[in-house]
Amino acid sequence: MANAHRKRNSLARIKINGSWIIEDADIKNGVVHAFKLLLSDSGNWRPSLDGMQFERLGEQKATRLEEPFSEEEVFGALMDLSCEKDPGPDGFPMAFWQLSWELVKVEVMSFFREFHENGRFVKSLNATFLVLIPRKRG
């Protein structure tokens, strides 16, 4: 059974630059090279915003972007998330955070307050799992 899966999930040949490649090592090298080209940054292309028109924020909305997160705002965002998702990297499902809000809100709000003031996470937090975008430069 395993051999059947391996055979079905393998490349017997591949066409690279108009030539058929059949040797395993050449196929591997060709695929690796193709993905390196796809995933590398040539540095030549950059997106352009020329010709795009953006609506300018009013003073009130611009000021709002620099305000700290309110408890109501954080709680509202938390409650908008689906509680049926798998547990996050901390091991807790979203339902835990939603149902335990009264118990955890002081620490959660402290985290957001520190993030707002410093524009970065505390060193003890693994920032690879959570991304917050600061509203202002910090």
What is the per-residue pLDDT across 60-103, written as a single tens digit (0 to 9) for each? Answer: 998 988 899 999 999 999 999 888 877 777 778 889 889 999 99
Report residue 87 as tokens. Answer: 């547990």
In the chain, what are the domain boundaries?
2-39, 66-138
Of 21-35, 38-52, 81-95, the range with the highest mean pLDDT is: 21-35
Where do runs of H (alpha helix) occur along the chain?
Answer: 2-8, 24-39, 59-64, 71-80, 94-99, 101-118
The C-alpha angle 128, 93, 101, rounded to 5 degrees, equals: 100
What pTM was computed for the model?
A: 0.49
pLDDT confidence band for 118 (50 / 70 / 90): confident
Across the chain, mean pLDDT equals 82
Q: Residue 5 corresponds to which tokens in the numbers above?
A: 């899966």
